[in-house]
Amino acid sequence: MAAESTTKRKRESAKPSAGSTSLQQKRVKLLEDRKHLPIWSRQKDIRQALRDHQILILSGETGSGKSTQIPQFIYDEFYCRKLKVAVTQPRRVAAISLARRVADELGSPLGSSSPASKVGYSVRFDENTSPGTRIKFLTEGMLLQEMLRDAELKQYGCIIVDEVHERSVNVDLLLGFLKGLVSRRKEMKVVVMSATADVEGLRRFFDEGVVANDGKADVLVNGADDAWEGFSGDDSKTNGMPAANKVATCHVEGRQYPVMTRYLDVATDDVIEASLSRIFQIHCKEPMPGDILVFMTGQESIQSLQKLVEEYAQGLTVDYPKLLVLPLFAALPQTAQQRIFLPAPRNTRKLILSTNIAETSVTVPGVRFVVDTGKAKIKQFRNKIGLDSLLIKPVSRSSADQRKGRAGREAAGQCFRLYTEQAYQSLEKDPKPEILRCDLSQAILTMKARGVIDVLAFPLITPPPREALEKALLNLYQLNALDDHGAISSTGRQIARLPLTPSLGRVIIEAAKPSMNCLPQVIDIVSCLSVETIWLPTETEEARERATLARQELGKRQGDHLTLLAAVQAYTAEQTDRRRWAEDHLISHRAMQNVMDVRKQLWSQCLQAKLQPAKATNLSTSINTSTPPDEETADKILQCFLHGLPNNIARLCPDGSYKTFVGNQTVAIHPGSWMFGRKKVEGILYQEFVFTNRAYARNVSAIQLGWLEELFRVGDLGQG
């Protein structure tokens, strides 16, 4: 391949330093591994396909080499000359680990560590690229964010959309934008890929309504109709269309190593117990090396299982290897997430307890065993009450297959499904596209901010129901993000630039107004709300009592928002030992480090957007909010949140329950809230609505109903 051309290698190794020699040694060693990947032998075909066609839809088994190899096959092709290849990933953990791997395979330093580095990544709150970056891994959200600055994505010669089967809203939006872009930028290439892509659906999507050069709409004939091999250079099927307009498809056969699948004979209700027993069966019976990756539903179940595993492991004799338990969930700081990729110490087995964030794209070195509980937390928008809720649901068959695919990447593996084979067969084939089950406000704002006028006409693979679109338009209007004509307002543009949901973005914009003047405090709270939770779990009665006592000094009668602010203020004021402080208050030190990170980034983004007084340009002075807010400021802070969450309000009813303004639904205060079990207040504002065995409001604060009249025309609020 061109990347390995002799001239280039000569140039790169002109003045070898110790660092570059070891990079080159690594590259040579990894090249041997790469040659054994199923995709390697298809390199020539794939490059040719993209010379002849503008769009390539590529499917191939997990581990066949799509994510790591395709960018390397093409980054030196003519259409990428002086341009970059973007590779989108659904999650930052995958974007970062793939960038690291591809940098190693190319013998390049990573990201900003050297101006000559060819590979970088960009994820929320972390841009790690250099002027020399040619291959950039980034989350879908970050690429959409880049489109705000450059709608034509001119710095890229090729966009690779990976793991398209997950069908996140952002992927669907990207595909819509790319469909338009390829007709404007004829030289640009797009690769859409996944192990389980709906190739036919995608092909139809890109083919439909494609306009031929003569301006007439045409139905394109796919060169790969019969077989992939048949299409390379075969123009006989093109109906005279310029070849570059066509969509090509390709399937890569084969995986590197086999994975044996095992099921339960009888279904179980207790997945924690079943996981525990399976983990120790593997640990005690299977030889080393062989790390274990377990898929759980969320942070809480992971932390419970971690505790149990660590307790049981203490009872093992020294005849067994040690167990190193590593949790992995979205709210963990990046450094903690990246620990899963480090090799375990000698005579130690890594046990990774993960949510579905390790389900696609990642290779965790050392993993030979996957344990799959078959469940995930899935976001579901409840149209009737107009709120997102998180529900624990069975995964789809393609998700289960992706999970299984995390084994067998470096050697043969085993996958233990904690459900029966019959249950597997009855799973939905693919996950339901997120666009059909989430609040569409963010998606619509994304479109509007990128110049889409008529969102109903925007090309989407699966158009959502009109009702959901209308609800989201109304929500954006309530947030002042859209004007009376449905066009994006200046507030809407400011919100769209922030890496936050429209609601939280609106809160920030409000707080920056001179009349409110509480941006630093609101940034502190929003940073806490951007990590899953800062509070350590308290499962037993005793732990709950201890937590109540330890957190007494932080708790604020107005509720969780101001309590979070107090926690950040106390943490930042602590100058000697923050870890110890966090432990004493049963607060996660890791989560607080993450909060500090987000806080810093948000502050700098507000600075860039000129959202704070001009004199406040220095982080340490301007963000210093260690004085607790006075009554008036506290009220203003909560009023800012009301502006962002006009639909998340409930009032106290005579029977002592809280009922939502929108939907008139009874909602209880979550036991994790500071307001749980305390004196009732006339109204509450809440950040999230979770539905487990009943409807709970999480992150709750007290509001005065009198504020609502001042803040909104009351008629805008849904009346019960």
Ligand X SMILES: Nc1ncnc2c1ncn2[C@@H]1O[C@H](COP(=O)(O)OP(=O)(O)OP(=O)(O)O)[C@@H](O)[C@H]1O
Q: Between 386 and 405, whose beta carbon lies closer to ligand X?
A: 405
Minimum CB–partner distance for residue 358 and ligand X (Å) = 11
Q: Between 95 and 681, whose beta carbon lies closer to ligand X?
A: 95
Interface with ligand X (CB under 6 A), residue from 59, 88, 89, 97: 97
- Of residues 521 through 560, those in contact with ligand X by CB under 6 A are none
User: From CA 255, how far away is CA 408, in angstroms rounded?
Assistant: 9
Interface with ligand X (CB under 6 A), residue from 3, 49, 59, 65: 65
Interface with ligand X (CB under 6 A), residue from 405, 413, 492, 502: 405
Using the contact rule CB under 6 A, the part of the chain among 55-63, 113-121, 440-448, 680-688 near ligand X is 55-63
Minimum CB–partner distance for residue 691 and ligand X (Å) = 32
Binding mask 629-658 for ligand X (x = CB under 6 A): ------------------------------
Using the contact rule CB under 6 A, the part of the chain among 21-29, 263-271, 404-412, 599-607 near ligand X is 404-412
Interface with ligand X (CB under 6 A), residue from 64, 530, 612, 647: 64
Using the contact rule CB under 6 A, the part of the chain among 61-69, 312-320, 525-533, 555-563 near ligand X is 61-69
- Of residues 11 through 50, those in contact with ligand X by CB under 6 A are 37
User: From CA 277, how far away is CA 580, in angstroms rounded?
Assistant: 34
Minimum CB–partner distance for residue 667 and ligand X (Å) = 40
Interface with ligand X (CB under 6 A), residue from 49, 63, 373, 642: 63
- Of residues 229 through 258, those in contact with ligand X by CB under 6 A are 256
Minimum CB–partner distance for residue 524 and ligand X (Å) = 36
Residue that is written with structure tokens 């999650």 in the block? 91
DSSP 279: H
Give the closest residue to 312 by CA, choosing from 367, 268, 273: 273
Asked if 360 is part of the footprint of ligand X (rule: CB under 6 A), the reply reads yes
Using the contact rule CB under 6 A, the part of the chain among 112-120, 403-411, 488-496, 678-686 near ligand X is 403-411
Q: Between 306 and 338, whose beta carbon lies closer to ligand X?
A: 338
Give the closest residue to 351 by CA, choosing from 403, 412, 425, 275: 275
Interface with ligand X (CB under 6 A), residue from 363, 446, 530, 639: 363
> Please, which residues have CB within 8 angstroms of residue 610's CB and are 6 or more apart in sequence?
none
137 and 99 in contact (C-beta within 8 Å)?
yes
Interface with ligand X (CB under 6 A), residue from 42, 47, 136, 409: 409
Interface with ligand X (CB under 6 A), residue from 91, 101, 506, 636: 101
494: exposed, middle or buried (C-beta count within 10 Å: 0-12, 13-18, 19+)?
buried
Using the contact rule CB under 6 A, the part of the chain among 58-66, 376-384, 658-666, 697-705 near ligand X is 58-66
DSSP 35: H
Q: Between 30 and 711, whose beta carbon lies closer to ligand X?
A: 30
User: From CA 183, how far away is CA 185, in angstroms rounded?
Assistant: 6
430 and 59 in contact (C-beta within 8 Å)?
no
Q: Between 337 and 475, whose beta carbon lies closer to ligand X?
A: 337
Using the contact rule CB under 6 A, the part of the chain among 63-71, 134-142, 202-210, 443-451 near ligand X is 63-71
310 and 337 in contact (C-beta within 8 Å)?
no
DSSP string, 132-192: T--EEEEEHHHHHHHHHH-TT-TTEEEEEE--GGG--HHHHHHHHHHHHHHHH-TT-EEEE
Retrieve residue 108's tokens.
């390049």
Q: Between 37 and 570, whose beta carbon lies closer to ligand X?
A: 37
- Of residues 311 through 350, those in contact with ligand X by CB under 6 A are none
Using the contact rule CB under 6 A, the part of the chain among 278-286, 402-410, 465-473, 517-525 near ligand X is 402-410
Q: Between 193 and 606, whose beta carbon lies closer to ligand X?
A: 193
DSSP string, 396-416: -HHHHHHHHTTSSSSS-EEEE
| Amino acid, res. 402 | Q
Minimum CB–partner distance for residue 274 and ligand X (Å) = 25
Using the contact rule CB under 6 A, the part of the chain among 110-118, 234-242, 277-285, 358-366 near ligand X is 358-366
- Of residues 275 through 304, those in contact with ligand X by CB under 6 A are none
Q: Between 10 and 35, whose beta carbon lies closer to ligand X?
A: 35
User: From CA 297, how far away is CA 378, in angstroms rounded?
Assistant: 9
Minimum CB–partner distance for residue 373 and ligand X (Å) = 19
The arrangement of strands across the sheet holding 413-417 comes to: 259-262, 413-417, 367-372, 291-295, 348-354, 322-328
Minimum CB–partner distance for residue 229 and ligand X (Å) = 20
Interface with ligand X (CB under 6 A), residue from 43, 54, 59, 68: 68
Interface with ligand X (CB under 6 A), residue from 180, 365, 459, 718: 365
Give the closest residue to 689 by CA, choosing from 661, 655, 648: 648
Interface with ligand X (CB under 6 A), residue from 72, 361, 399, 660: 361
Asked if 67 is part of the footprint of ligand X (rule: CB under 6 A), the reply reads yes
Using the contact rule CB under 6 A, the part of the chain among 138-146, 328-336, 357-365, 596-604 near ligand X is 357-365
Q: Between 342 and 619, whose beta carbon lies closer to ligand X?
A: 342
410 and 365 in contact (C-beta within 8 Å)?
yes
Task: Taking each helix axis as running N to C, give the angle between helix 490-497 and helix 502-511, from 0 to 180 degrees, rounded to the nearest 10.
Answer: 110
Return the beta strands (E) in 311-449 as ranges: 322-328, 348-354, 367-372, 375-382, 387-394, 413-417
Q: Between 47 and 506, whose beta carbon lies closer to ligand X?
A: 47
Interface with ligand X (CB under 6 A), residue from 85, 119, 195, 376: 195
User: From CA 148, how far away is CA 170, in angstroms rounded?
Assistant: 14
Strands 413-417 and 666-669: unpaired
Show the 3-state SS of 78-136. Answer: HHHCCCEEEEEECCHHHHHHHHHHHHHHHCCCEHHHCCCCCEEEEECCEEECCCCCCEE
Minimum CB–partner distance for residue 332 and ligand X (Å) = 18
Interface with ligand X (CB under 6 A), residue from 66, 179, 448, 551: 66
Give the closest residue to 191 by CA, choosing from 362, 42, 8: 42
- Of residues 475 through 504, those in contact with ligand X by CB under 6 A are none
> Please, which residues have CB within 8 angstroms of residue 413's CB and are 6 or more apart in sequence?
257, 258, 259, 260, 367, 368, 369, 370, 407
Number of residues that bind ligand X (CB under 6 A): 21
User: From CA 394, how far away is CA 509, in angstroms rounded?
Assistant: 38
- Collapsing DSSP to helix, strand or coil, 472 comes out as helix
Q: How many CA atoms lie within 13 A of 384 on its CB side?
A: 2
> Please, which residues have CB within 8 angstroms of residue 257's CB and are 6 or more apart in sequence?
63, 408, 409, 410, 411, 412, 413
Minimum CB–partner distance for residue 196 and ligand X (Å) = 9
Using the contact rule CB under 6 A, the part of the chain among 4-12, 221-229, 359-367, 420-428 near ligand X is 359-367
Query: Which residues in this chain contact ligand X in the complex, by CB under 6 A?
Result: 37, 60, 62-69, 97, 101, 195, 256, 360-361, 363, 365, 405, 409-410
